[in-house]
Structure 1
Amino acid sequence: MSEVEKRLELAGLNLPPAPLPGGMYTPVRPFGMRCAYLSGVACNLQGGETFEGKVGAELTLEQAEKAAEQCALNALAVLKANIGDLDRIASVVKLLGFVASANDFYAQPQVMNGASELLCLAFGDQIGKAARSAIGVNVLPGNVPVEIELIVELRD
């Protein structure tokens, strides 16, 4: 078990099974000497908790933050399945978040705090605190409220 997984376990969190790709793409694409780009990852668990709808209409800010946290857990599961050991991650470089938002919902950055806080819990601030964008959109695939992408730097 990696140190990252031990920190999550101490917080009462476990990695879910890695979500399968929802289309014709690769979940993780390595590039350069030590980087990897993670395709979009949604917030639902296979056979488990689901989040649906727009934030500010069907979901509250608190529910959306929880959905963003689940996105980050799912993203870590995908990374583990593709790179092996999560301790290979030297830095979370970029977190890009999409939030399906009601027309009068403007707190997308607060929603994405759920993912950012999970990454900092897993890796510590030095590695887990990433550059970040939080973008409000009209709809996401499967009517999920949150989807994230990551760029990570890997250790040799």
Structure 2
Amino acid sequence: MFMMDVYQILKEKGIILPSPPPKGGIYSPVMNFSTNLLYCSGCGCDIGDGKSFVGKLGREFTIEQGQEAAYNCVLNLLANLDAKLGDLNRIKKFVKILAFVNSTEDFEQQPMVVNGGSKLLLDIFGSEAGLPARTAVGCNTLPDGIACEMEVLLEIKDL
């Protein structure tokens, strides 16, 4: 089971969480749906650093660029979780990732793109807590034309 301090791991890896992303509608960014289960609404890939991931995989972006977009989605998810929980060390395990990749009709490497976000969870939380079940879906468009959007379900520890 994961035991290291999440914030120490982030520091060691040089990872800085962005501010929680602004909501794109009327919804809750993170919602408890059981005593120890959370659902995180989909987050896009804009982390406020001025780098835009607007466009499609298979046309504007390579797999590697898509992986960076997916990585940023996870950073935004973690920022929302940090704001909700107050401590990312309360995370017991990630249960499921659902990822949407804005891609051309002939692009078929959505799972490779989403690996960019999955690897970040693995690197921070380890294989037992950071490797959830996953679905990677290609779609014809996403809000504001972003390249990737991801949501997660996770279990938190008892207080």
Structure 1 contact 100–140 (Cα < 8 Å) conserved: yes
What is the CA deviation profile of residues 91-118 of structure 1, one whole-angstrom value per residue up to 9, with x for unaligned ones?
Answer: 1000110000111100000001001000
Q: TM-score, structure 1 length as denominator?
A: 0.96
Return the alpha-carbon distance in structure 1 between the equivalents of residues 93 and 38 of structure 2. Answer: 11
Within the candidate set 94, 97, 110, 2:96 is matched to 94
Counterparts of 2:126 and 2:18, CA distance in 1: 20
* Partner AA of 1:72 in structure 2: V
2: CA distance between counterparts of 1:8 and 1:49? Answer: 21
Q: Which residue of 2 aligns with 1:129?
A: 131
Aligned-pair RMSD on alpha carbons? 1.1
The sequence identity of aligned pairs, in percent, is: 45
State the Cα deviation string for residues 15-71 of structure 1 (Å, max 9, x = none): 011102111000001011100000010001225322110001011110000100010
**Is the Cα contact below 8 Å between 1:95 and 1:149 reproduced in 2?**
yes
Contact 2:47 2:75 in 1 (8 A): no
Counterpart CA distance in 1 for 2:87 and 2:53 is 28
Shift of 1:12: 1.7
Which residue of structure 1 lines up, in the alignment, with residue 146 of structure 2?
144
Question: Matches of 1:111 and 1:47 in 2, distance apart?
Answer: 20
The residue that corresponds to 2:111 in the other structure is: 109
Q: How does 1:49-60 map to 2 (within 5 A)?
A: 49-60=51-62
- The number of residues matched between the two structures is 155
Task: Give yes or no for contact 1:5–1:122 (8 Å, CA) kept in 2.
Answer: no
Counterpart CA distance in 1 for 2:49 and 2:127 is 32
C-alpha separation between the residues in 1 aligned to 2:10 and 2:106? 34
Letter in 1 for 2:70: A
| Structure 2 runs not aligned, ≥5 long | none
Whether contact under 8 Å (1:99, 1:146) holds in the other structure is yes
Q: In the alignment, is the contact (CA less than 8 A) between 1:92 and 1:128 conserved in 2?
A: yes
Gaps of 5+ in 1: none
TM-score (ref. length: structure 2):
0.94
Q: What stretches of structure 1 move > 6 A for 4+ residues in a row? A: none
2:105, 2:24 → 1: CA distance? 27
Cross-structure match for 2:157: 155
